[in-house]
């Protein structure tokens, strides 16, 4: 049995009076205490260096203090103090925070209370609001241990999210690396077993918690189909709510809502974000045909291509001195040379110079020459970067390594992706490969690519976003 760290009535740091034991976790003990300076009740989490078997526990404890100090949300306990005390045979670390009055959702159900679908949805909305705050910080914060024990219902009905002992900030984890296995079995997303928590992982924890509230059973005990909880077999909720729960409980990260904001919009009926990408990303043609595209990568492509579970990148290099490049360069020189050697002398011979202002003639022909020269320069030194992640897409254009243009958009707002053919006034057909957000069009076709390459890129984008 673990040694009791403090006794009731003991005073720490000449300030905090221990009132009662609140609970013991895997690495720390939490007490209710009173602050003699402010005369308020506080929660004091204590970590003993002697009792802790791993230095990782100390790192997580310090990280919790650091993250809590940076947060400011009414449904997250306020950070108050952090200090340590050295004893003869031990060093103890203390995190002092606001004491949240109320009962955990786990205790509420254990006491016999049962919740309706409407009540469970209201809890989901409250927690999603907190997750929106955490995920929209810079960098985002992932809680990693959302479960009924860490959700406290206050007397006024508000739900507070507590125990940030497993917290991870996404930037630190991504840049510095690491694969800490943190979470609670049954409520932990599958990717957390691999140490790969993301914002979507907290959505899984929320979904598992909601299933516990609906069924009074631990999620790991619920019936499954192909490693996925069979929601309709163990609940009697509406079809729309069952579909929503099915999404947040998808075992594969890419199949889940990728942010709390999108999940909240879906739950509250803003259905544009609720439909899976595959339902509304379409390949458009002038005939109105809707189809999906998936082309093989051209064998001789120069395009540098990278695809991971979270990111899709195409780097399209310049053409260099290729036939098309030389064509535009030669055409620009030819037009300019023709203007000087043939066009203007011919007009002068016919006596038309006096009838047609020379400036207009020179401007029109010079503009044609300039356009060809720009195309020559772009083909020679230009390049394009197309990047799609789980939140946004971006198309950027570069000349000699300097970005000269960029367009960005949110994936959740995409209405269609595909090909559109337009016909100009002289009957010439033009084909554009584009992403649409409403009426706004983001084209990614270019003279730097062959048609087969653009078909392939289009198919890859559709495939990536449809997952």
* Res 148: pLDDT: 93
Most confident listed range (1-10, 49-58, 417-426): 1-10
**Residue from 14, 81, 86, 145 carrying the catalytic annotation:** 145
- Counting residues of the chain whose pLDDT is more than 70, the rounded percentage is 69
Structure tokens at 233: 């077999």
pLDDT of residue 254: 81
Per-residue pLDDT, 210: 96
Confidence (pLDDT) at 333: 52
The 10s digit of each residue's pLDDT in 251-299 is 888 888 888 999 998 898 764 433 333 333 333 333 333 344 445 667 6
Rg (CA), the chain: 31
For residue 42, give the H/E element and its range: strand 40-48
Least confident interval from 163-172, 294-303, 407-416: 163-172
Residues 255 and 263 sit within 8 Å (Cβ to Cβ): no
pLDDT at residue 221 tops 50: yes
3-state secondary structure of 220: helix
Residue 392's nearest CA partner among 285, 272, 258 is 258
Average pLDDT estimate for 219-242: 87
- pLDDT of the residue at 107: 92
What topology does CATH give the domain 103-274?
Transferase(Phosphotransferase); domain 1 (1.10.510)
Confidence of residue 167 (pLDDT cuts 50, 70, 90): low
The more confident residue out of 99 and 350 is 99
Q: Which of 305, 310, 309 minimizes the C-alpha distance to 295? A: 305
Structure-derived torsion over alpha carbons of residues 344, 345, 347, 350, reported in degrees to the nearest 10? 170
CA 440 from chain center: how many Å?
Answer: 23
Is residue 177 very low, low, confident or very high in pLDDT (cuts 50, 70, 90)? very low
pLDDT value of residue 129: 93
Tokens of 359: 């400036």
Tens of pLDDT, residue by residue over 179-215, are 344 557 778 888 877 777 788 889 999 999 999 999 9
145 given a catalytic annotation: yes
What is the predicted pLDDT for the residue at 22? Answer: 86
Cβ atoms within 10 Å, residue 234: 16
| For residue 326, pLDDT beyond 60 | no
Residue 362 in this model has a pLDDT that exceeds 50 = yes
Q: What pLDDT score was predicted for residue 283?
A: 38
Q: Cis before residue 423, ω within 30 degrees of 0?
A: no
pLDDT at 334: 53
At the topology level of CATH, where does 11-98 sit? Phosphorylase Kinase; domain 1 (3.30.200)
Indicate the domain borders of the chain.
11-98, 103-274, 277-467
DSSP 246-301: HHHT-SSGGGS-SSHHHHHHHHTT-TTTTS-HHHH--EE-TT--EE---PPPPTT-
Q: In the prediction, which pLDDT does 270 show?
A: 61
Answer yes or no: is pLDDT of 69 > 70. Answer: yes
Say how many C-beta atoms besides its own lie within 10 A of residue 36's C-beta.
12
* pLDDT reported for residue 419: 76
């Amino acid at each position: 049995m673990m040694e009791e760290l403090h006794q009731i009535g003991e005073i720490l740091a000449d300030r905090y009076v221990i009132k009662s034991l609140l609970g013991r976790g895997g690495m720390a003990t939490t007490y209710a205490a009173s602050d003699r300076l402010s005369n308020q009740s506080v929660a004091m989490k204590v970590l003993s260096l002697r009792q802790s078997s791993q230095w990782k526990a100390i790192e997580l404890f310090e990280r919790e203090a650091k993250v809590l100090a940076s947060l400011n949300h009414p449904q997250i306990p306020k950070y108050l103090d952090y200090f340590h005390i050295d004893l003869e045979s031990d060093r103890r670390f203390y995190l002092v925070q606001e004491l949240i009055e109320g009962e955990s959702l786990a205790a509420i159900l254990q006491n016999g209370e049962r919740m309706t679908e409407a009540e469970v949805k209201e809890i989901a909305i409250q927690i999603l609001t907190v997750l929106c705050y955490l995920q929209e910080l810079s960098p985002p914060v992932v809680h990693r241990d959302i479960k009924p024990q860490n959700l406290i219902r206050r007397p006024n009905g508000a739900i507070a999210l507590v125990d940030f002992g497993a917290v991870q900030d996404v930037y630190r984890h991504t840049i510095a690396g690491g694969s800490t296995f943190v979470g609670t079995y049954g409520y932990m997303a599958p990717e957390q077993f691999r140490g790969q928590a993301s914002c979507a992982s907290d959505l899984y924890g929320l979904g598992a918690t909601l299933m516990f509230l609906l069924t009074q059973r631990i999620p790991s005990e619920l019936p499954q189909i192909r490693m996925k909880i069979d929601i309709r077999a163990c609940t009697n909720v509406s079809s729309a709510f069952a579909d929503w729960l099915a999404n947040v409980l998808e075992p594969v990260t890419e199949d889940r809502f990728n942010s709390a904001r999108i999940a909240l919009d879906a739950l509250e009926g803003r259905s544009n974000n609720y439909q899976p990408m595959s339902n509304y990303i379409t390949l458009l043609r002038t005939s109105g045909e809707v189809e999906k595209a998936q082309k093989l990568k051209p064998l001789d492509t120069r395009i540098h291509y990278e695809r991971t579970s979270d990111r899709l990148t195409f780097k399209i290099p310049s053409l260099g001195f290729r036939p098309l490049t030389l064509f535009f360069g030669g055409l620009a020189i030819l037009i300019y040379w023709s203007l000087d050697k043939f066009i203007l002398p011919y007009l002068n011979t016919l006596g038309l110079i006096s009838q047609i202002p020379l400036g207009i003639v020179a401007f029109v022909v010079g503009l044609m020459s300039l356009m060809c020269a720009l195309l020559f320069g772009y083909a020679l030194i230009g390049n394009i970067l197309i990047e799609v992640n789980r939140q946004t897409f971006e198309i950027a254009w570069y000349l000699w390594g300097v970005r000269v243009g960029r367009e960005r958009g949110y994936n959740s707002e995409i209405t269609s992706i595909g090909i559109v053919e337009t016909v100009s006034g002289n009957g010439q057909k033009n084909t554009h490969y584009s992403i649409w957000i409403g009426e706004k069009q983001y084209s990614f076709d270019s003279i730097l690519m062959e048609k087969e390459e653009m078909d392939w890129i289009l198919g890859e984008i559709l495939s990536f976003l449809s997952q």
